[in-house]
Structure 1
Amino acid sequence: MGLFDDLDRYTNQIKDRISASAAAVCIMKDNKIIHERYSGYHHFHKGARKVDEFSQFNVYSTRVTYVGLAVAIAINDGAIKSIDDPISNYLTNYDNNVLGNTTIRHLVTRTTGLQFQGKSVVRKFEEGTSFEGKKPEVLAAIIKNATGKTVAETINERVFKPLGLTQTEWRTEGKETLVCDINDPNSYPTLRLESNEGSDRNLYITARELALWGNLHLHKGTMQGQQILPRDLFENVTSKMTPNTLPVQLPRLGYFWWIQDKNVANSEIGPDLPEGTYQILGASGCSCTVIPEQKAVVVRMTNSLWTFGGKNGFDYIADIQRFGNIATQALNQHSYATF
């Protein structure tokens, strides 16, 4: 019996439960891939491509960590003064009285209290006092106004090219290696193709390259002995940046990454994962979990939109917590086996 058999078995059970056609698991530890498994097909219809290491999944909200790193780079470069800069300094088309004291920090930790509606903005609650949905498109606009570059241009230039990553793409047209979305078991498969600027829900990635993304963060900007971005930039991105004004039971985030905090009641990270773990999850079931204590990154890919958000009785929070708990147990066994 393999050390990761339980994890693979659970992943396949979830694939079937959510009516996904495709799944993948990729685990890195100590800078090496120690386990990967691919199952299923790009969709359910005749002629579908079998899933393999070249299959690119739409990762949905997992993409926001790329926007988060882009703003961290802008801050490091001085294009944005600090994480506590008011967003009104960079957004000129909205009412400053409504934007008020909202900062970049509030954006990356999902605590702005604002609701953007086209060219207008309304305040739903005071900044830093409650938790909300993600607003990567607002942050992307700030980045472009501050730097003159899109998120995609920044990340391509500063991360993908130095690391030779070629299978992480904001897709505007289809190709053979893209895994389709399954919206429900009886519908036609779809591809989400949007702008190539870097904030839309069209970021397609292989399991290996998403693991490398997590590994870049784990090793604080170093890969293959090369420091491609400053170490302290990654320290900030993956540390708790949530304002202290947020009630203690609500999630703590870095730059969009959920940070493990055992004092927090509402978290998507499994309770067995150690302090310092950080994670991001997307609507299609794709996730990237970084576990510094185990020097490991765990990636899961699936392609169903049928059950996210509690649809059809599926508890996606319980699922990703269970997945993480099984993964960390397997990694502990791996450490004992190689000791």
Structure 2
Amino acid sequence: MFIRKPKSTYIFLITLFFIIVGLVSCKVARFVYYNFADIGDYKKFPSRSLNNTGQKFSFYQTEKGKFPKNINPDQHGEVPFDQYLEENNTVAFMIIQNDTIQYEKYFQGYNQAAIVPSFSMAKSVTSILIGCAINDGLIKSINEPVTNYIPELRKNGFEKVTLEHLLQMTSGLQFNEGYSNPFGEVATFYYGTNLRKATTELKLKRAPGEAFEYVSGNPQILGLVLERALKTKNITAYLQEKIWQPLGMEYEASWSLDKKNNGLEKTFCCINARARDFAKIGRLYLNKGNWNGQQIVPESWVRQSTKVDTSKGSAWYYQYQWWLPTKNGDFMAAGILGQYIYVNPAKNLIIVRLGKNKGTANWEQTFVNIATGY
């Protein structure tokens, strides 16, 4: 005979489960509660603010913008461009050529002032800051071993891992990038509350320089290197000083932290900003690190970060935390839910796409196809 248990029993068991999970791991509890990453995540985590108190930079605008009216995504027929963007869960899309906004549209209740987290586009920004820190003499060289800054990693055999290995994702790091695994390292880094401890406990699974493997542990190690190189200044403050203020960002922004008090920036993800300001990061690299006559980032760093290179185990399509869609000089920052800053220097073109997810679109090919028409 089936006996229905009282509702209070189920409530008790569910409550007990979450208490146990919480005791075992705060990270797992947060994973269960929040489930998977979404573009509202900037509201979930503590953060540090980014501000520009000076002059604001604005792209030119035109009433007769040049952009595709229709698109043929699967070679089986054209669809209206706006429809294609909206059906693939886009919330913001911009096309900028010659400093002029050719197309700017927002979808699904979003607008020009709507905040969207960068997710892994922040990896590219972390790379920019490493280049700035080397130029400022805070970091000596990409050839330095990471243990110069994080001696705690010596116990795990990191003496031969250089900053370049981390930039190129060739460190040989043992790191589970599975976003559906609450016990994996990426969940620890995203939902955990002690990034410094988690970073210093990382291990290697192969010798550095042997193979490319995209894992978020590499840019987070770079984040800890940067924090220690900066000493008394936090990473957000350095981003504000080197990039946010000089580039004349139009809006306030933030960088998510692992915890509220004395938190560390999640340098593998989580800069929370608007489409127009993300576009300015693309403009900076489009102009080889120069901003209206001021060299913000060394040109040599921009060139090295975006050139095809297969030496030392690196993949031609990934350089210094930037993706290379083709071998024709274009490059992009990319985030897991379909956040992109695409730059095509040959066409003097920048594309920003932000979304709730990628939909079914092949965004890399879409950007290349759009660029071909300019």
**TM-score normalized by structure 1?**
0.72
Q: Are 2:316 and 1:233 aligned?
A: no
AA in 2 matched with 1:113: G
2-side partners of 1:295 and 1:85: how far apart? 35
Q: Assess, with a 3 A threshold, how the Cα gap between structure 1 residues 2 and 237 changes in structure 2: closer, same or farther.
A: closer
> In angstroms, what is the RMSD of aligned CA positions?
2.9
How far off its partner does 1:208 sit? 1.2
- For 1:111, the equivalent position in structure 2 comes to 170
Secondary structure at the aligned position of 2:142 is classed as: coil
1:234 is displaced (CA, Å) by 2.5
- Residue of structure 2 equivalent to 1:324: 367
1:235–1:246: structure 2 CA closer, same or farther, 3 Å change rule? same
- Pick the aligned partner of 1:277 from 330, 337, 343: 330
In structure 2, what residue type is equivalent to 1:63? A
- Partner SS state of residue 312, structure 2: coil
Task: For residue 111 of structure 1, give the secondary structure of its aligned residue in structure 2.
Answer: coil
| Contact 1:160/1:166 (8 A) holds in 2 | no
- 8 Å CA contact 1:65, 1:256 repeated in 2: yes
- Give the match's secondary structure for 2:319: coil
Is the 2:70–2:81 Cα contact (8 Å) retained in structure 1? yes
Shift in alpha-carbon separation, 1:74–1:225, aligned structure 2, 3 A:
closer
When residues 283 and 67 of structure 1 are mapped into structure 2, their CA distance, relative to the original with a 3 A threshold, is: same
8 Å Cα contact 1:57/1:303 also seen in 2: no
Instruction: Provide the residue aligned with 1:244 in structure 2.
Output: 311
Instruction: Tell me, yes or no, if the aligned pair for 2:123 and 2:269 is still in contact at 8 Å.
Output: no
Distance 2:152 2:269 in 1: 24
Residues 128-277 of structure 1: pairs in structure 2 closer than 5 A: 128-132=209-213, 133-134=215-216, 135-148=218-231, 149-167=233-251, 169-171=253-255, 197=265, 199=267, 201-240=269-308, 244-246=311-313, 250-259=315-324, 269=325, 275-277=328-330
Moved more, 224-233 or 148-157: 224-233
Give the 3 Å change call, closer, same or farther, for CA 226–94 of structure 1 in structure 2: closer
TM-score, scaled to structure 2: 0.66
Q: What amino acid is aligned across from residue 143 of structure 1 in structure 2?
A: L
Q: What's the secondary structure of 1:40's corresponding residue?
A: coil
After superposition, the Cα gap between the structure-2 partners of 1:171 and 1:193, relative to the gap in structure 1 and judged at 3 Å, is farther
Please give the per-residue CA displacement for 1:246-301, whole angstroms capped at 9, x wherever unaligned: 27xx4443320123xxxxxxxxx2x5xx6111112101211111111111111111
* 8 A contact 2:131–2:298 mirrored in 1: no
CA separation of 1:167 and 1:255: change in aligned 2, threshold 3 A:
farther
Q: Report SS of the residue matched to 1:34.
A: strand
Gaps of 5+ in 1: 42-50, 174-191, 260-268, 308-313, 332-339
Unaligned runs of 5+ in 2: 1-64, 72-78, 176-184, 186-197
Paired residue type of 1:304: N
Identity rate, percent? 23
| Residue equivalent to 1:265 | none
* Distance in 2 between residues matched to 1:5 and 1:52, nearest whole Å: 21
SS in 2 for 1:13: helix
Summarize deviations over 1:52-95 as a string: whole Å, max 9, x none.
22122112001111110111111111221111111111112123
After superposition, what is the alpha-carbon deviation per residue over 1:96-155, rounded to whole angstroms, capped at 9, x for unaligned? 561131111111111100236634232212212222213222101001112223332211
Q: Distance in 1 between matches of 2:292 and 2:146?
A: 36
Max radius of gyration: which structure? 2
Q: Is the 8 A contact 1:23 1:38 kept in 2?
A: yes
The count of aligned residue pairs is 276
Q: Distance in 2 between matches of 1:52 and 1:101?
A: 47
Matched, 1:26 2:94: yes
Contact 2:256–2:271 (8 Å) recurs in 1: no
Inter-CA distance 278–205: structure 2 relative to 1 (3 Å threshold): same
- Answer yes or no: is the 8 Å Cα contact 1:27–1:297 preserved in 2: yes
